[in-house]
Amino acid sequence: MNVAKEYDSLVGQFMDFVMKANAKGIIVGLSGGIDSAVVATLAKNALGPHNVMSVYLPCCRRVNMDYSIEEKFDYNDARNLAKALEIDFRVLDLSATFATLCMGVNKCLSTAGENSFDAFGHISQLAQGNMAARLRMVSLYALKEDLNMLCAGTGNLSEIMLGYLTKYGDGGIDFEPLGAYYKTEVYEIASYLDIFSMSPNIMVKSPSARLWDGQTDEEDLGWSYDEIDRELESILRCGELCPPNYNEKLRNKLSKMIAKSEHKRNIPPVFKRLV
């Protein structure tokens, strides 16, 4: 990948997309991770610092308790990057809202009878994580509406192909700047942007959507992004006819994930009229 050429193209597309939408700029959820850091930096370089709003959205499971170590690191990393970029940085703590929502859903489940998947009214860890992701996106859209801004996504090609995103959460955005780049390529772009000098920890910590404490992407997926991206590139290039680049077990898992998550990459189907 010629990173310099890709950078010029991305900056140009940022400017063109925002101009055609007649928007004032973009809003991005700045998580302290590599993807949102790259999106925020590209946006600032394309639109100028005054046309980019970054928002840190902690969503802790424990109300009135201190943030976890990971949350503290994420906050500092996001704040340091925003300060270096000289972009607007705001914090919207969703912990109390999230706790209230969880209690309401649990109460509803506990009264749903024996046919509910958990009659005791405890939603799963995964369901809670997806709910947090959707709550973050609801908040970003609420902020952007009256500001005439666009909500920039922070997903990459690896996540999109595997469906490793939350439908109507981080997948519910106005545009996806990094959607054509594998996760490993996002790191190449980040190096070109010199994000390490602005917030060093972003470049070295394990990727995580912070859906729950201690969660990391590669642990969830079972392989490193280097291994995953080699296999995804093979699948994307010539489908199942290409021999596996890493191993057959990984190829089979990725193929199943791609097929299972097809609905996340398409608009909801509309049933046909009889007449």
Superfamily (CATH H level) for 3-217:
HUPs (3.40.50.620)
Tell me, what's the pLDDT at 38?
Answer: 97
**Would the pLDDT of 129 be above 90?**
no
Mean per-residue pLDDT of the chain: 87
Tell me, what's the pLDDT at 223?
Answer: 82
| Residue (of 180, 177, 171, 174) closest to 22 by Cα position | 174
Distance CA 67, CA 32 (A): 14
CA distances to 52, 74, 209, 246 from 205, rounded to whole Å, are: 25, 10, 12, 24
End-to-end Cα distance, the chain: 50
Break the chain down into helix, strand, coil percent, rounded to 5: 55, 5, 35
Mutual angle of helices 69-85 and 34-47, in 10-degree steps: 20
Distance CA 28, CA 37 (A): 9
Tell me, what's the pLDDT at 113?
Answer: 52
| Residue (of 169, 174, 94, 66) closest to 127 by Cα position | 169
Mutual angle of helices 34-47 and 183-192, in 10-degree steps: 50
| Residue (of 227, 239, 126) closest to 184 by Cα position | 227
Question: Out of 110-119, 169-178, 200-209, which region has the weakest mean confidence (pLDDT)?
Answer: 110-119
Domain extents in the chain: 3-217, 222-264
Average pLDDT for residues 44-52, to the nearest whole number? Answer: 96
Question: Out of 56-70, 103-117, 143-157, which region has the weakest mean confidence (pLDDT)?
Answer: 103-117
Contacts of 193 (CB under 8 A, 6+ apart): 7, 38, 41, 42, 45
Confidence of residue 187 (pLDDT cuts 50, 70, 90): very high
Distance CA 64, CA 81 (A): 27
Residue 72 has a CB neighbour count (10 Å cut-off) of 13
Distance CA 52, CA 150 (A): 10
Please tell me which residue, 1 or 46, carries the higher pLDDT value: 46
| Residue (of 176, 145, 198) closest to 43 by Cα position | 176
Spell 241-262 as b/e; 16+ CB within 10 A means b.
eeebebeeebbebbeebbeebe
